[in-house]
Structure 1
Amino acid sequence: MEIHPDFNIPWCKALLEKNVIDMEIPTQRRLEPDDETSNSMFQQTLYTPSAIRAQINFRRPALESDSITSWEICNLLSLGTGVDGKTGRAHGGFNALVLDQITGMTAAAISGAAAPATATMTVDYKAPINTPGVVLCRCWAVEKQGRKTWLKGRIEDGEGKLLASAKALFIDPKPAKL
């Protein structure tokens, strides 16, 4: 797999060289949604040279002791200035959107449901996300009860500094009636 040049920095290389369970690199912007869960916000609107310039999704062994699985889901994101709220800083709403995305990806992986829904999410902003730049987003599940999954997520810089965190509850869709 070819890695985007924005990820050819020492901390990204080191991160990707250790304990990656599986990896996906979204390679193209989709101009037309492919199904009812197309996620056009990311696949069409944000995957541009000025917003999310490149992304790598991967799983690795869980780092947090409260994780209910042996793994966590991570995204490396190369961000351009198209996500700015203030010049050189990602918009707070974008930070929340990214945390909602990774917690939803993790909830879907836990439940196997195509599109679990966000019931609630609390975001704590700790430091600005500088743009352009690269950040690590990571998420793990802390509880699963029936159709409900509770998760925690973080956005960090290359030194592991916490930039934003979230606690979220996702609800799986009701099973289809036969």
Structure 2
Amino acid sequence: MALVSRLQMQAGYHTLMAHPDFDLPWCKRVLAHPGILWSRKSHEGASPERVSNSLFEWTLYGEKGIRAHLAFRRPCKEPDSINALEECFLVSIGDGLDGMTGRAHGGLSSVLLDHISGHSAHYADPRPVSPATATMTVDYKRPVNTPCVILVRAWQVSYSGRKVWVKACIENGDGLVYATAKSLFILARSERL
């Protein structure tokens, strides 16, 4: 995933940043941080045949599902992080992903945590083939009430050979944590010449 300049971000993310669900004071604070490195625009213009992660980028998208999301990296302040940056998704969720009325399905939290953790593991050593999840332990702290906007974050905590350990969390704008995860990812083998 190529990072884009702030000027490209302003042009490419303008529509998503203007999404009414991101018009919350805490979202504006997060998005205004000067240390943000914007990742490519997600979903817009994508078709199911051209997307590598169709579950996240296509299937879950919609007015009642994932209504909008922004992907970016920013400085990491977690004490156990081995990298200066963390991966972040700002995600607007509708009520079509509920497991119980008004409450997001717990599997959605797992999908979001796995997806962002994979992004973090990939940046440990970017290779053409994405890393694979070997294990992931999720601790559910409280329900995610829908509709809502959440922040999903991930950071690397250990890297050895092809193994990358990643921690991640889902939180609201006040830092209230809904779920945490610790995952082990295995990087693809290097191609042999």
For the aligned pair, the TM-score class normalised by the smaller chain equals: over 0.9
Contact kept? 2:43, 2:57, Cα under 8 Å: no
Contact kept? 2:43, 2:58, Cα under 8 Å: no
Contact kept? 1:20, 1:58, Cα under 8 Å: no
Give the SS at the match of 1:105. helix
Q: Is 1:84 matched with 2:98?
A: yes
Q: Is 1:104 matched with 2:96?
A: no
Give the SS at the match of 1:110. coil
Q: Deviations over 1:20-58 (max 9, x none)?
A: 3312442526323326xx101012201211111000111
Look up the match of 1:172.
187
User: TM-score scaled to structure 1, two decimals?
Assistant: 0.94
Unaligned runs of 5+ in 1: none
Q: Is 1:145 matched with 2:193?
A: no
Percent same amino acid at aligned positions?
48
Q: Distance in 2 between matches of 1:62 and 1:19?
A: 13
Q: Hey, which bits of structure 1, 4+ residues long, moved more than 4 A? A: none
Task: After TM superposition, list the pairs within 5 Å mapping 1:20-169 onto structure 2.
Answer: 20-24=35-39, 25-28=41-44, 30-34=46-50, 38-113=52-127, 114-169=129-184
Q: Which amino acid aligns with 2:65?
A: A
Q: Distance in 1 between matches of 2:46 and 2:153?
A: 24
Q: What is the CA RMSD across the aligned residues, in angstroms?
A: 1.3
Distance 1:150 1:125, change over 3 A: same
Q: Distance in 2 between matches of 1:59 and 1:20?
A: 8
Give the SS at the match of 2:49. coil
C-alpha deviation, 1:124, in angstroms: 0.1
Unaligned runs of 5+ in 2: 1-12
User: TM-score scaled to structure 2, two decimals?
Assistant: 0.87
